Structure 1
Amino acid sequence: MSGGWIDLSDQRVAVSGGTKGVGAAVVAALLSAGARVATAARTAPNAVPTGVHFMPTDLLSAEGSATFADFALSELGGIDILVNVLGGSDAPGGGYAASTDAVWASEIDRNLMSAVRLDRAFLPGMIERGSGVVIHVTSIQRELPLPESTIAYAAAKAALSTYSKALSKEVSPKGVRVVRVSPGWIETEASVRLAERLAEAEGTDYEGGKRIIMQGLGGIPIGRPARPEEVADLIAFLVSPRAASITGTEYVINGGTVPTA
């Protein structure tokens, strides 16, 4: 998204979970557009991109979120854009019965409360200035849950979507836009490893492993998962001045996976 079409010069951005997958792609896209970026994750990447302010911390905890917020505000002098990417699932297989209270709490902290806490930390400054953008990365699983192992994840993402809509109604009149981005299956590092494991188990190749995942989702009409960079480019547009009248809505990027409008 370089070349001037998206210009985020001097914009100060906080990205949660910005070291892998979609998060890393978002950081790269926003840097390319001229933004100044702070991000956090539990472990540092092999190489922190030049110009990125990185803090290793656990955003699943209230303490970790507060520490990152203090760090980002101190390093950048304020935040104009917040992109809540952090999410995922560590829940075991086995359906509803396998998800203990501890599993539910972990899934909710990762997929809902991490965003709620960072919003609470950064929104006051945006409201005071009368401008800002908050992006919540949700998931098509809020509409298309997979019961084998992601019930808690899907429920937490559904809660994040509802919370985001309510937040947009509260803060949009104060100059802060709130937008949701809802990906389907994305070909991240973790997805590649999953496809490789499935391929090995079924005696097929990587493309065969991808087909197994797509079949489990009920098919992807375009025939492939989204790439992290495609999701990042959508986010870069949505946080830019070119999307200045967009708030309170959800943009789905799933290759047509969900079979209803």
Structure 2
Amino acid sequence: MTSYENGSVTRELAGRRALVTGGTRGIGAAVVRRLLDAGAQVLTTARSATGTAPQGAAFVQADVSTRAGAEALASAAGEVLGGVVDIVVHNAGGARPHEGVLAIADEDWQDALDLNFLASVRLDSLLVPGMRERRSGSIVHVSSAAVLTPVGPFLHYTAAKAALENYSRGLAQELAPSGIRVNTVTPGRVATPGGEATREQWARLNAAPGQVNADDTPPLGRDGRPDDIAQAVSFLVSDRASWLTGTSLVVDGGEFSRG
């Protein structure tokens, strides 16, 4: 049963079992905490074992950018979560900027595609069959509002995220008859350690005027916080969003609505 305390939904995910990739810091950690607070059992993962998962979550080290890593994670999820995964949140992602499109090497394109797009495709292919058997499940892919204004130095990243959004809409159509919902959360500029590091790299590359302004504050007057995105994710995986699938929820403080 869903209850409300101080305007927030509590324990609405009790009994649900969730897998969150990239969940030891930033947006991923906020998502893990939000799902735990809502009563879900949560397993999270990261490439490095040096990160700390939020208290109450199980953790397994895995590199989801590889097929072997996705398979190892799916196997671990089966063991830790008792063979049932009701919720999957694909948060792992990122890429470093280059001086321009033509400076992005083949291996950087492949790395960006593997981490930001194919990781979701591979893991979904391993976990969706179980959801189909149960005729229920919710999948959220975390994209980036940068896909709305792609720029050369990040094109490998934004192209991969654009592919992820297209794939997400197509997957949603295919899985809807099985009772499985697939949605995308598209964050704008969010204050995270990874985001700050990327902006510092961008500044060092002296981005061309009009592409990305590192000091451009969104219209709502502040950068996003990880929990702003986590709130959107927790809504989409809950029964409150039971009639939402194939949608992209842009959470950007109005950054990309200014025209």
1:59 Cα deviation (Å)?
A: 1.1
CA offsets 1:140-172 (integer angstroms, 9 cap, x no match): 12211122x201101000000000000000001
Task: Tell me the distance in 2 between the aligned counterparts of 1:86 and 1:152.
Answer: 16
- 1:158-177 to structure 2, matched below 5 A, reads 158-177=162-181
Task: Tell me the distance in 2 between the aligned counterparts of 1:259 and 1:176.
Answer: 30
Task: Tell me the distance in 2 between the aligned counterparts of 1:194 and 1:53.
Answer: 28
| Equivalent residue letter for 1:169 | Q
CA offsets 1:28-86 (integer angstroms, 9 cap, x no match): 10001110011111113554333311111111111011101100111112100000011
Show the counterpart of 1:181. 185
- 1:149-160 to structure 2, matched below 5 A, reads 149-160=153-164
Q: Aligned residues, how many?
A: 248
Show the counterpart of 2:209. none
| Equivalent residue letter for 2:93 | G
When the two chains are superposed, the root-mean-square deviation of aligned CA atoms in Å is: 2.5
| Equivalent residue letter for 1:259 | S
1:227 Cα deviation (Å)?
A: 0.4
- 1:1-261 to structure 2, matched below 5 A, reads 3=5, 5-6=9-10, 7-77=12-82, 78-90=84-96, 92-147=97-152, 149-193=153-197, 213-215=214-216, 220-259=218-257
Task: Tell me the distance in 2 between the aligned counterparts of 1:228 and 1:95.
Answer: 29
Task: Tell me the distance in 2 between the aligned counterparts of 1:181 and 1:111.
Answer: 14
Q: Is the 8 A contact 1:214 1:220 kept in 2?
A: no
Task: Tell me the distance in 2 between the aligned counterparts of 1:72 and 1:220.
Answer: 38
1:173 Cα deviation (Å)?
A: 1.1
5+ long unaligned stretches in structure 1: 203-210
Q: Is the 8 A contact 1:2 1:33 kept in 2?
A: no
SS in 1 for 2:183: strand
Q: Is the 8 A contact 1:38 1:72 kept in 2?
A: yes
Task: Tell me the distance in 2 between the aligned counterparts of 1:164 and 1:197.
Answer: 30
SS in 2 for 1:121: helix
Q: Is the 8 A contact 2:203 2:214 kept in 1?
A: no
CA offsets 1:219-258 (integer angstroms, 9 cap, x no match): 5212221100110011111101111111111100011111
1:192 Cα deviation (Å)?
A: 3.6
CA offsets 1:191-224 (integer angstroms, 9 cap, x no match): 3445678899x9xxxxxxxx95143xxx521222
Taking structure 1 as the reference length, what is the TM-score of the superposition? 0.88
